[in-house]
Amino acid sequence: MKKGTPEDLVLKRIRYGSSGGSMAYHSEFEIEADADEIIRTAYYSDCPFSPEEEDLPAETDTGEMTVKEHIPMDKALWQALAEEIGYLKEQLRPVENRKPLPFPVPDMFVLDGGDYQRLYLTWETDKGEHTVQYYPPSGNRWTSVIAIMREMARPVGRDLHRIGKTRMTAFFLKTPKYSYQITPVQNTEKYYFFVHGDSADTNRLTQEQWNTVREFLEGIDISGYKRGKYESKYYLRLNFNDGINKELEISKKTAELIRAFIRKNI
């Protein structure tokens, strides 16, 4: 775990702001909240964020942002937010202190109203509160966090896209002589099973068969492998339900270990 986000920290408060820039009219959104209340939120209600908002009337006819302060928190929404942030801890990276650019900067073209995201999390520790600015993460789980914050600010019954526990959903192994891939068949409990360079008795797997392979893959220590790419000699890609996939350049020994397990158990 990176500095500033140890496992024992408890989320105390969140402050987030974003804008789609000059190309996304009225997309600005701000919220600061804790477990007790929405301290402050500001947004343009005429800029739909999700399909659930498209037919809603704007909350103001002035063309200005809707601003709300000190609104009691929906406890279920705060719990959902805290859970998703907890799952995101491994992805959070503190913003580094950078020296400002010298001005004037020659040949720099600046557009008015650039897009941005700013995320501040306050953690409760045994030494008091500790606030850190982070680079906003990516993936399906971060999309869920955005939806939860939007629902806090303006409750309309959005689909919160909850991810739950992170789990592996597919994998691909490639070597110079063979490749193995397991990926889900959409809207079923079956899985495609692709094999090249080796023989296979089936091209479909059950949920139980995939669970067996997944548990084996989750037990492999991959911490020492560097990031890989498809062109790597021994390449392993692990797909996860939060949209954050791992691409690794692995050893021949690990590749053979995976192959042997699959051939024995599938």
For residues 149 and 17, state if they share a domain.
yes
Decide: 168 and 214 in contact? Cβ < 8 Å: yes
Dig out the tokens for 35 from the structure.
């477990």
Would you say residue 159 lies in a domain? no
For residues 198 and 116, state if they share a domain.
no
State the pLDDT at residue 131. Answer: 94
For residues 221 and 94, state if they share a domain.
no
Would you say residue 5 lies in a domain? no
Q: Report the number of distinct structural domains present in the chain.
A: 2
Best-predicted range by mean pLDDT among 19-23, 76-80, 160-164? 76-80
Element (DSSP H or E) covering residue 29: strand 29-34
Mean pLDDT on 6-21: 85
Other beta carbons within 10 angstroms of residue 160's beta carbon come to 19
Decide: 88 and 95 in contact? Cβ < 8 Å: no
Would you say residue 158 lies in a domain? no
Question: Of 153, 183, 218, at which residue does a domain stop?
Answer: 153
State the pLDDT at residue 228. Answer: 94
Decide: 258 and 173 in contact? Cβ < 8 Å: yes
What percent of the chain shows pLDDT beyond 90? 62
Would you say residue 69 lies in a domain? yes
Q: What angle do CA 208, 206, 191 make, to 5 degrees?
A: 120
> Could you read off the pLDDT of 111-162 as tens digits, one per residue?
455 688 999 999 998 888 999 999 999 889 999 999 999 999 999 898 888 8
For the chain, how big is the Rg over CA atoms in Å? Answer: 23
For residues 47 and 21, state if they share a domain.
yes
Choose between 11 and 98: higher pLDDT: 11
Sheet with 93-94, edge to edge strand ranges: 66-72, 37-43, 29-34, 10-19, 116-125, 128-135, 93-94
pLDDT band at residue 98 under the 50/70/90 scheme? low
Q: How far apart are the first and last CA of the chain?
A: 35
For residues 172 and 128, state if they share a domain.
no
Dig out the tokens for 230 from the structure.
């498809």
For residues 50 and 173, state if they share a domain.
no
Would you say residue 107 lies in a domain? no
For residues 123 and 183, state if they share a domain.
no
Q: Tell me how far apart the alpha carbons of residues 67 and 171 are, in angstroms, rounded to a whole number.
A: 46
For residues 29 and 86, state if they share a domain.
yes
For residues 35 and 133, state if they share a domain.
yes
For residues 37 and 122, state if they share a domain.
yes
Q: What is the pTM of this model?
A: 0.76
State the average pLDDT for the chain.
88
State the pLDDT at residue 164. Answer: 83
For residues 52 and 149, state if they share a domain.
yes
Would you say residue 179 lies in a domain? yes
Q: Tell me how far apart the alpha carbons of residues 144 and 152 are, in angstroms, rounded to a whole number.
A: 12
Helical residues (DSSP H) of the chain, grouped into ranges: 75-88, 140-153, 207-218, 252-265
Would you say residue 235 lies in a domain? yes
> Could you read off the pLDDT of 196-234 as tens digits, one per residue?
999 888 899 999 999 999 999 999 999 899 999 999 999
Would you say residue 103 lies in a domain? no
Show the domain range for 261: 168-265
For residues 198 and 134, state if they share a domain.
no
